[in-house]
């Protein structure tokens, strides 16, 4: 149950019930979500709300290369610093309506004003654009999972809004299990993708090649953890020879 949606509290969703009766979240966990990774580099991203949560969302967008605009009459000191150095654009005013969404790819609302949040959601929905109202899943057409990042590797964890605390615990445990060695292996495997695409003619051939390396003995992850990355590259070269020879033999 989202923190801002429970029976007896003032309604914060688009149904405008006055007092929450949980209508908006009743079937929330029965709706599967489509997991995707967005490329934000160079895209216009809007955050409305200049508090601590707004800062968190701005930092997440900047980390992925988003071109961020903040709309807020007042802003957290760190947000003001980001604006001062030119990392974000800060429009020091309240949200003005649909015109603020012109040319925007994604909008995140982080205000404490229910009417503003609902208005942002409805304006964005009419434009069929991505919108997230923080901590109010019914006012979102996408949700933000907890993310584990190791280099170029990212793992997303979502409870569909049921328990952010559980997602955070899972994030800690997954970060411990899938550490830097996996990120380094991803980089090494990426180096050989061109060879695989140019040499192995089918998807199944390429899948078999990479699975042979990843699931082989010795374990490439353990080798990297032991500082033996060169041996991983040797394993890859051996796999290239095996698969090329097998391909030649079947020709």
Query: Per-residue pLDDT tens for 26-79?
Result: 666 667 788 888 999 999 999 999 999 999 999 999 999 999 999 999 999 999
In three-state secondary structure terms, 230 is helix
- Mind listing the pLDDT tens digit for each residue in 143-187? 888 888 888 888 988 887 777 789 889 999 999 899 999 999 999
| Distance (Å, whole) CA 139 – CA 17 | 14
Extract the runs of DSSP E, i.e. beta strands, from the chain.
Answer: 44-48, 67-71, 89-91, 106-109, 130-133, 146-150, 153-157
| Of residues 126, 96, 120, 99, the one with CA closest to residue 13 | 120
| Distance (Å, whole) CA 222 – CA 227 | 9
DSSP characters over 112-125: S-HHHHHHHHHHHH
Give, in degrees to the nearest 5, the angle at Cα 113 between 109 and 115: 90
160 exposure class (CB count in 10 Å sphere: 0-12, 13-18, 19+): middle
Q: Does pTM surpass 0.75? A: no
| Distance (Å, whole) CA 179 – CA 181 | 6
Locus of tokens 């709706």:
31
Q: What percent of the chain has pLDDT over 90?
A: 65
Contact 114, 10 (CB under 8 A): yes
For all residues of the chain together, what is the average pLDDT?
89
DSSP characters over 52-84: HHHHHHHHHHHHTT-EEEEE-SS--HHHHHHHH
In three-state secondary structure terms, 197 is helix
């Amino acid at each position: 149950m989202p923190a801002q949606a429970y029976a007896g509290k003032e309604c914060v969703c688009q149904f405008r019930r006055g007092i929450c009766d949980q209508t908006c979240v009743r079937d929330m966990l029965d709706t599967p979500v489509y997991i995707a990774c967005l490329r934000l580099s160079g895209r216009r991203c809007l955050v409305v709300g200049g508090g601590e949560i707004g800062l968190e969302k701005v930092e997440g967008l900047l980390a992925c290369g988003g071109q961020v605009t903040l709309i807020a009459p007042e802003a957290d000191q760190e947000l003001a610093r980001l604006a001062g150095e030119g990392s974000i654009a800060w429009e020091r005013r309240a949200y003005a309506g649909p015109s603020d969404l012109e040319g925007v790819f994604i909008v995140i609302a982080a205000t404490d004003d229910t009417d503003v949040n609902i208005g942002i959601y409805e304006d964005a929905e009419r434009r069929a654009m991505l919108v997230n109202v923080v901590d109010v899943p019914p006012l979102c057409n996408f949700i933000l999972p907890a993310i584990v990042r190791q280099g170029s590797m990212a793992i997303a964890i979502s409870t569909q809004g049921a328990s952010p605390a559980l997602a955070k615990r899972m994030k800690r445990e997954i970060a411990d299990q899938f550490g830097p060695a996996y990120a380094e292996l991803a980089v090494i495997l990426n180096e050989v993708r061109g060879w695989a695409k140019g040499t192995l003619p089918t998807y199944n051939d390429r899948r078999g090649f990479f699975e042979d390396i990843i699931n082989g003995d010795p374990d490439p992850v353990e080798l990297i953890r032991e500082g033996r990355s060169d041996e991983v590259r040797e394993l890859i070269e051996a796999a290239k020879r095996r698969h090329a020879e097998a391909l030649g033999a079947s020709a």
